[in-house]
């Protein structure tokens, strides 16, 4: 049983068992399978409400959350697809603003898995097909769809005419998939350019492509991809600007200037994600969203496991009255954002860290280590994770004064150094670990 395939509902669990047996077939890459699967389902992706399609290495999930909040503040009914889930698979598919019901989920997964007979689809292709079916069958005013891996060959990249496509922050992650040799792609010797090529693969003819600003060689690649696709390009710093000030966002484009509130979500980088969401709405003509709705959406947006302070619960009681901060960031760019935030938190910071084996744990720890008084490494049950002994050794190599390992989260928290002056407890390194923490603390995303 894979950890992502767990439900309390027997009907859902039967389909998740079938889904959990799937994996990306070795050596296969492309959109042929998802296209054939969708064809067998009468191509629901061709008849969806206006779609906002968002890619990026970091920040795409938060950008989707801002889009959803702004659209809903306008009074619109919104379907949302994000990934990965933290506690329940249902989190991946929000229908009309609500998590998909167990009844609908079981029915859709069964229908898609039956239709997929003989195709050998991946977990993500089946999930995407079920998502498109749900969004096609249930009425709504807009869809917000997060890209999973990359963009060019992500299963969601069969959409023909999104209202707007967006690319958030770019960095290097999932190297095994994004940097493999491909004669159509730039050399892996230029990883950021290659990542830009993959992400910009979501560009579509006549659909606005709205992006953040990047290094010159990365920008050149995005511009090339947009031109080849026939997508109008609206790049930050060229077609729109957003200056983040102490208490406001000063946003400007050819339609005028907006004075916007800062997000209440913690982390300075969230203002950039909010600005991208605003720019996506401003550079499309399918859905009307007022300045007031944008403003209220920015302030009301929340997104779990991103610099989240845990509420009172079984996990926090283990270290009460200390504050417990949860963050699922797992790559160097996310570590940079975490490090900037840690500069302003109450010291000392004792960290409990678990990381997936495919991640660059050495670089992650090197970035956050200067802000940590101790590290306790933990496993991520049910997943291929960095060995706890290795993770603790990497923390010491990075300069953390106290580094150890524990067999589980509860033991790690119970064994943290006693701090008479309080300080902060940080749990970080993986969204999979974050999901387990939220479940243990009885905080369920909705």
* DSSP for 161-214, written as a single string: --SEEEE-B-----HHHHTS--TTS--TTSHHHHHHHHHGGG--TTS-EEE---
Task: Kindly tell me the sign of the dihedral angle through the C-alpha atoms of 167, 170, 173, 174.
Answer: positive
Whether residues 291 and 313 share a domain: the answer is no
Q: Which of 300, 318, 351 is the last residue of a domain?
A: 300
Whether residues 277 and 318 share a domain: the answer is no
Q: How many domains does the chain have?
A: 2
Residue length of the chain: 446
**How would you classify residue 19: left for phi > 0, otherwise alpha for psi between -120 and 50, otherwise beta?**
alpha
Residue 420 domain-assigned (yes or no): yes
The pLDDT assigned to 2 comes to: 43
What span, in angstroms and rounded, lies between the C-alpha atoms of 214 and 237? 9
Instruction: Reply yes or no: is the peptide bond before residue 348 cis, omega within 30 of 0.
Output: yes
Whether residues 172 and 132 share a domain: the answer is yes
Please, how many CA atoms are within 13 Å of residue 154, restricted to the half-sphere of its CB? 27
What span, in angstroms and rounded, lies between the C-alpha atoms of 135 and 122? 20
Residue 3 domain-assigned (yes or no): no
The pLDDT assigned to 259 comes to: 96
The residues near 418 (Cβ < 8 Å, ≥ 6 apart) are none
Whether residues 275 and 398 share a domain: the answer is no
Whether residues 206 and 186 share a domain: the answer is yes
Low-confidence ranges of the chain (pLDDT < 50): 1-3, 174, 178
Residue 1 domain-assigned (yes or no): no
What span, in angstroms and rounded, lies between the C-alpha atoms of 343 and 165? 34
Residue 4 domain-assigned (yes or no): no
Pick the closest to residue 281 from 56, 73, 47, 58 (CA basis).
73
The pLDDT assigned to 96 comes to: 97
The pLDDT assigned to 25 comes to: 56
Residue 446 domain-assigned (yes or no): no
Residue range(s) defining the domain that contains residue 216:
10-300
The pLDDT assigned to 282 comes to: 98
The pLDDT assigned to 179 comes to: 53
Whether residues 248 and 332 share a domain: the answer is no
Whether residues 290 and 321 share a domain: the answer is no
DSSP secondary structure code for residue 81 in this structure: E
Question: Considering the chain, what percentage of its residues have pLDDT values greater than 90?
Answer: 85
Instruction: Write b or e for each residue in 163-188: b if 16 or more Cβ atoms lie within 10 A of its Cβ, otherwise e.
Output: bbbbbbbbbbbbbeebbeebeebbee
Strand pairing class (323-327; 424-428):
parallel
Pick the closest to residue 144 from 61, 88, 205 (CA basis).
61
What span, in angstroms and rounded, lies between the C-alpha atoms of 358 and 350? 24
Q: Which of 235, 268, 300 is the last residue of a domain?
A: 300
Whether residues 420 and 327 share a domain: the answer is yes
The pLDDT assigned to 185 comes to: 66
pTM to 2 decimal places: 0.94
What span, in angstroms and rounded, lies between the C-alpha atoms of 434 and 152? 28
Question: What's the chain's Rg over C-alpha atoms?
Answer: 21
* Cβ burial, residue 320 (10 Å; 0-12/13-18/19+): exposed
The residues near 226 (Cβ < 8 Å, ≥ 6 apart) are 200, 203, 209, 232, 233
The pLDDT assigned to 181 comes to: 57
Tell how far CA 202 is from the center of its chain.
16
Residue 101 domain-assigned (yes or no): yes
Whether residues 270 and 369 share a domain: the answer is no
CATH of the domain at 132: 3.40.1190.10
Pick the closest to residue 104 from 134, 68, 84 (CA basis).
134
Whether residues 91 and 234 share a domain: the answer is yes
Residue 343 domain-assigned (yes or no): yes
Q: Which of 268, 300, 332 is the last residue of a domain?
A: 300
Whether residues 368 and 245 share a domain: the answer is no
Whether residues 271 and 375 share a domain: the answer is no
What span, in angstroms and rounded, lies between the C-alpha atoms of 130 and 413? 39
Instruction: Write b or e for each residue in 415-427: b if 16 or more Cβ atoms lie within 10 A of its Cβ, otherwise e.
Output: ebeebeeebbbbb
Residue 5 domain-assigned (yes or no): no
DSSP secondary structure code for residue 322 in this structure: S
pLDDT digits (tens, 9 = 90+) for 239-250: 999 999 888 999
Phi then psi dihedrals of residue 247, to 5 deg: -135, 5
Provide the 10 A C-beta neighbour count for residue 247: 7
Phi then psi dihedrals of residue 146, to 5 deg: -90, 135
CATH of the domain at 388: 3.90.190.20
């Amino acid at each position: 049983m894979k950890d992502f395939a767990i439900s309390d509902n027997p009907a859902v669990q039967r389909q998740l068992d079938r889904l959990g047996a799937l994996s990306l077939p070795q050596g296969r890459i492309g959109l042929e399978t998802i296209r054939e699967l969708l064809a067998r389902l009468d191509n629901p992706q061709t008849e969806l409400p206006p779609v906002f399609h968002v890619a990026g290495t970091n920040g795409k999930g938060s950008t989707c959350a801002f889009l959803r909040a702004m659209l809903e503040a306008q009074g619109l009914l919104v379907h949302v697809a994000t990934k990965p889930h933290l506690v329940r698979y249902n989190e991946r598919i929000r229908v009309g603003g609500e998590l998909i019901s167990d009844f609908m989920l079981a029915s859709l997964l069964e229908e898609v898995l039956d239709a997929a007979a003989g195709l050998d689809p991946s977990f993500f292709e089946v999930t995407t097909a079920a998502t498109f079916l749900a969004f096609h069958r249930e009425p709504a005013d807009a869809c917000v769809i997060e890209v999973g891996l990359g963009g060019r060959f992500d299963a969601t990249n069969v959409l023909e005419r999104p209202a707007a496509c967006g690319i958030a922050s770019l960095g290097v992650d999932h190297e095994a998939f994004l940097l493999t040799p491909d004669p159509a792609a730039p050399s892996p010797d230029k990883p950021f350019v290659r990542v830009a090529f993959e992400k910009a693969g979501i560009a579509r003819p006549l659909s606005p492509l709205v992006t953040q600003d990047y290094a010159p060689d990365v920008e050149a690649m995005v511009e090339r991809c947009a031109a080849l696709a026939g997508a109008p390009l609206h790049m930050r710093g060229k077609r729109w600007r957003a200056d983040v000030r102490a208490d406001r966002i000063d946003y400007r484009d050819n339609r005028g200037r907006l004075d916007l509130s800062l997000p209440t979500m913690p982390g300075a980088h969230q203002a950039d994600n909010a600005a991208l969401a605003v720019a996506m709405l401003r550079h499309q003509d399918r859905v009307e969203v007022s300045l007031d709705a944008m403003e209220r959406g920015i302030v009301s947006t929340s997104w779990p496991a991103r610099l989240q302070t845990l509420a009172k619960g079984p996990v926090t009681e283990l270290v009460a009255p200390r504050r417990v901060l949860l963050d699922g960031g797992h790559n160097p760019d996310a570590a940079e954002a975490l490090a900037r935030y840690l500069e302003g938190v109450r010291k000392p910071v004792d960290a409990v860290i678990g990381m997936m084996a495919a991640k660059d744990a050495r670089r992650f720890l090197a970035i956050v280590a200067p802000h940590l008084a101790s590290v306790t490494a933990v496993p991520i049950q049910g997943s291929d994770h960095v060995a706890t002994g290795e993770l603790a050794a990497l923390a010491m190599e990075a300069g953390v004064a106290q580094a150890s390992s524990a067999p589980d989260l509860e033991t790690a928290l119970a064994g943290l150094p006693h701090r008479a002056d309080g300080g902060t407890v940080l749990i970080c390194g993986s969204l999979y670990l974050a999901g387990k923490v939220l479940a243990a603390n009885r905080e369920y995303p909705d």
